[in-house]
């Protein structure tokens, strides 16, 4: 900080604020959420930042930093900007290798020494329009980020007003206002430049170039003390900005369920579908013992699997906390997928609650099927996420289960379920359909529904069911004459 600007007592950063970044991440928050960074993370232009030994995913984030000029406590939105003294550039550096055990708080992943360089110049906030500021970032001279505050989900003044509701913002405090799309991984030797300016203001006030050089650290983390670096393809994708940038193979864009097949499965009842599966020799397609939290619910989707193993104290200590398998499953579920949970039929503990249900709903999940219990049962139903389960139970994770695996073959309610299997559930229960059989099974089930509707009409007209249900040759001829030749042979219900 300069001599005229107080050193901050606190640094507050927002998780997600630009529409371009939210669209890149596939989630758009309804309200801002925040985390703190230590003041020891402050740096200045021309400094260096170390990528620790044994890590790979250090990422830059070009951001606009607001520096509080006058004390703000419970300020109105219309008055909030007057409490901002200065605007400058910042680089909200983060180490994705350490996100797993600090997800949300970002204590270790974003708190490293030099991970919050600011400057070099500070723009008088009273001379600029907060809705017309620009942030740009270059890596080795190549433009990587370029966005305006007009693209913010939450206006800058809203952040000041919101935070001031909860605690006092004091002169010198810094608010990091989020990064737009384009943030990515940097490696030792890279030089990052961030600039904030007001291109439409008189004189085009600018922060100048905030320059940071990446160096390679030599001291590894001590595995006897705390969390170690750990990465997976999700972290690589989010750190680099895309699977392609991370060097990962593309995900097949062809939906596992075409809109046409999904529509047919929504129309066909599970009873009819299961009958067609049994005709083909599939007698173990039922997920037994589960019922819907929302009466009348119908779910259709592809399985994303989550496996719990029986509780054991030492295993739960290693696998139960932090960014565990349960959280990863709900964070990574895709639109139209159904999270299917193996809980070994144990209904004496919850396998999800309202927070995870909210996350699944926001991700576009088609529902959840668990052969265990559900915590916050009424709240989950109010969220509107369809859940088929053994029922309600108030306990939290750690009573009976250890979250263990995602995207593996599991057993749920006595049925084997593989990732990508087609799950259909309604008031009669939940069934598992092998994808290769789905088209033929649903076509025959729908044809059977037409036949059964005709039979019901005959029964309603007073005909006895003997010889009609299932149809004998005489009734079959009548049916064919009334509707055209049938390909269905009828099924006893």
Task: With 0.85 as the threshold, say if the pTM is over it.
Answer: no
Unique residue bearing structure tokens 């989900």: 153
- Which residues are documented as binding site for Mg(2+)? 376
pLDDT digits (tens, 9 = 90+) for 279-322: 898 988 999 999 999 999 999 999 999 999 999 988 888 888 87
Q: How high is the pLDDT of residue 461?
A: 85
Q: Which of the four pLDDT bands, split at 50, 70 and 90, describes residue 261? A: very high
**DSSP of 139-179, one letter per residue?**
ETTEEEEEEEGGGBSS-HHHHHHHHHTTS-B-TT-EEE---
Please, is 274 exposed, middle or buried when counting C-beta atoms within 10 Å of its C-beta (0-12, 13-18, 19+)?
buried
Q: What's the angle, vertex CA 257, arms to CA 252 and CA 260, rounded to 5?
A: 130
Domain annotation for the chain: domains and CATH numbers: 11-240 (3.90.850.10), 283-433 (3.50.30.40)
* Residue 351 scores a pLDDT above 80: yes
Please name the helix (run of DSSP H) or strand (run of DSSP E) that holds residue 262, with its range, or none. Answer: helix 259-267
Cβ burial 67-95 (10 Å sphere, 16+ → b, else e): bbbeebeebeeeebbebbbbbbbbbbbbb
User: Cα(358)–Cα(3) distance, rounded to whole angstroms?
Assistant: 46
Binding site feature residues for substrate = 353-356, 375
Q: Decide: residue 225, CB within 10 A, 0-12 exposed, 13-18 middle, 19+ buried.
A: exposed
- Binding positions are 353-356, 375-376
Tens digit of each residue's pLDDT (9 = 90 or more) over 34-85? 999 999 999 999 999 999 998 999 999 999 999 999 999 999 999 999 999 9
Residues of 310-342 as b/e, b for ≥16 C-beta within 10 angstroms? ebeeeebeebbeebbbbbbbbbbbbebbbbbbb
Please report which residue ranges of 268-333 form alpha helices under DSSP H.
270-279, 313-319, 325-332
Other beta carbons less than 10 A from residue 406's beta carbon: 22
Query: What's the chain's length in residues?
Result: 493
For the ranges 125-134, 246-255, 317-326, the lowest mean pLDDT is seen at 246-255
Cβ contact 406:307 at 8 Å: yes
Instruction: Dump pLDDT digits (tens) for 237-254.
Output: 888 988 888 888 776 555
pLDDT score of 167 more than 60? yes
- How buried is 19 (Cβ within 10 angstroms: 0-12 exposed, 13-18 middle, 19+ buried)? middle
What SS3 state is found at 246?
A: coil
Rounded average pLDDT over 108-129 = 95
Mean pLDDT of 456-474: 83
Distance from C-alpha of 119 to C-alpha of 117, rounded to nearest angstrom: 7
Calculate the average pLDDT of the chain. Answer: 90
Please report how the helices 325-332 and 354-363 are oriented relative to each other, as an axis angle in degrees rounded to 10: 30
């Amino acid at each position: 900080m300069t001599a005229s600007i107080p050193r901050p007592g606190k640094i507050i950063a927002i998780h997600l604020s630009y529409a371009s970044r939210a669209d890149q991440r596939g989630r758009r928050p309804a309200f801002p959420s925040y985390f703190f960074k230590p003041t020891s993370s402050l740096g200045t232009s021309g400094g260096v930042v170390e990528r620790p030994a044994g890590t790979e995913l250090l990422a830059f984030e070009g951001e606009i930093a607001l520096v509080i000029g006058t004390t703000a406590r419970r300020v109105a939105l219309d008055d909030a900007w007057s409490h901002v003294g200065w605007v400058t550039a910042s680089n909200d550096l983060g180490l994705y290798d350490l996100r797993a055990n600090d997800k949300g708080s970002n204590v270790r992943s974003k708190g490293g020494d030099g991970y919050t360089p600011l400057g070099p110049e500070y723009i008088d906030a009273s001379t600029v329009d907060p809705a017309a500021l620009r942030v740009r970032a270059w890596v080795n001279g190549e433009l990587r980020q370029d966005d305006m505050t007009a693209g913010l989900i939450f206006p800058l003044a809203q952040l000041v007003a919101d935070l001031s509701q909860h605690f006092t913002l004091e002169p010198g405090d810094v608010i990091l206002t989020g990064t737009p799309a384009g943030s990515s991984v940097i490696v030792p030797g890279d030089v990052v430049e961030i600039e904030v300016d007001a291109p439409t203001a008189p004189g085009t006030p600018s922060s100048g170039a905030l320059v940071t050089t990446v160096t390679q650290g030599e001291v590894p983390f001590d595995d006897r003390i705390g969390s170690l670096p750990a990465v997976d393809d999700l972290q690589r994708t989010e750190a680099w900005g895309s699977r392609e940038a991370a060097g990962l193979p593309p995900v097949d864009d062809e939906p596992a369920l075409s809109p046409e097949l999904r529509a047919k499965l929504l129309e066909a009842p599970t009873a009819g579908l299961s009958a067609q599966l049994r005709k083909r020799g599939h007698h173990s397609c039922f997920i037994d013992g589960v019922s819907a939290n929302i009466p009348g619910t119908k779910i259709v989707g592809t399985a994303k699997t989550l496996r719990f193993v029986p509780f054991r104290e030492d295993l739960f200590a290693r696998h139960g906390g932090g960014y565990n398998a349960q959280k990863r499953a709900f964070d990574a579920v895709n639109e139209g997928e159904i999270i299917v949970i193996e809980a070994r039929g144990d209904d004496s503990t919850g396998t999800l609650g309202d927070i995870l249900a909210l996350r699944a709903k926001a991700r576009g999940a088609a529902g959840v099927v668990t052969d265990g219990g559900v915590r916050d049962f009424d709240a989950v139903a109010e969220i509107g996420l369809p859940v088929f389960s053994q029922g309600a139970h108030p306990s939290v994770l750690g009573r009976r289960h250890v979250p263990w695996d995602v995207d593996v073959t599991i057993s749920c309610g006595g049925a084997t379920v593989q990732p990508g299997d087609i799950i259909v559930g309604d008031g009669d229960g939940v069934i598992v359909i092998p994808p290769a059989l789905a088209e033929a099974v649903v076509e025959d089930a729908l044809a059977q529904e037409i036949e059964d509707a005709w039979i019901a009409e005959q029964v309603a007209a007073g005909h006895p069911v003997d010889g009609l249900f299932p149809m004998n040759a005489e009734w079959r001829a009548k049916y064919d004459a009334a509707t055209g030749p049938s390909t269905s042979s009828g099924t006893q219900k």
